[in-house]
Copies of this chain bind each other. A is one copy, B any other.
Amino acid sequence: MTQQAAVQQPNLLNGLDVQAAVETIGAIQEDESLARFQFRARNTWITGGVNLSSIKDFYGAGREDDSRSESFEFTNGEPPVLLGDNEGANPVEFLLHALAGCVTTTLVLHATARGITIEELSTELEGDLDVRGLLALDDGVSPGYERIRIGMKVKADCSDEQLADLIAFTQAHSPVCNTVCRPVPVEIVRMAN
C-alpha cells in the first residue's frame, strides 16, 4: 500500500473513524461552542392515537446541519387494548428504542476511545408502566415508567472488569439514559394557529 493510500484509508475501530473522532474532540476542546446541539422534531396529529413525526434539520458544531436531503418520518400508533389499531409502535415503546440505541452507541464510542473492539452487542429492554397515571385514576401513580431494565449482551476483546467499567461509564454518559434518569424540564407553549 502506498503512503497516500494509507492516508486516505480511514482508521476504523468498531465502524467508527478514529481520526475523525479525535479531530472532533480536539475541535470541541479548542472551542466549547461547537459542543452545543439543538435537535428538533415536528409532529402532526392524524386521528385518535395516530400521529406522524418528521425529523430532518438540527443545529450542531457551530452551524445548521445540511447533510440530510430528506426527512425521517415516523408514525406513532396504539394497540387495540389502548384503543388503536397498531398503526405504529406507541410513544413509550419509541422511548425504549431511543434508550436502547443511545446506550449502544455510547458504549461503542467509549469502547473505541479505549481501544476495545466490540464483537457483538445487543440489548433487551423492559419498562413497567401503570396506565392509571395516564388515565388520571390515581394521583399517587406516576404516569411515566416506574423503572426500566436493560439486559445487555456484549462480546469484546477485554476483561470482564474492563467491560463492567465500560458499561457503568456508558450508563453515566448516555444522553437518553441521562435524560430519563435525571429530571429534565419540558415546557409546553401554545403557539398561534
Residues of B contacting A187 with CB < 8 Å? 147-150
Asked if A5 is an interface residue, CB under 8 A from chain B, the answer is: no
Residue of B nearest to A154 (CB): B190
Q: How many copies does the complex hold?
A: 2
Q: Is A1 an interface residue (CB 8 A)?
A: no
Residue interface bits A149-193, CB-to-B below 8 A is 1, else 0: 111111100000001100101111111111111111111111111
Q: Mark A116-146, 1 if CB is under 8 A from B, else 0.
A: 0010111111111111111111000111111
Contact A184 B180 (CB under 8 A): yes
Contact A78 B105 (CB under 8 A): yes
A60 near B81 with CB under 8 A, answer yes
Whether A28 pairs with B137 at a CB distance below 8 angstroms is yes
Instruction: Name A96's closest neighbour in chain B (CB-CB).
Output: B41
A92 to B100, CA, bound (A): 11
Q: Is the CB of A188 within 8 A of B14?
A: no
For chain A, residues 32 to 79, give those with C-beta under 8 angstroms from any C-beta of chain B.
Answer: 32, 35-51, 53, 55, 58, 60-61, 65, 67-68, 72, 74, 76, 78-79
8 additional contacts, CB 8 Å, given A92-B102, A154-B190?
A40-B125, A58-B79, A76-B101, A76-B104, A124-B191, A148-B185, A149-B187, A152-B191
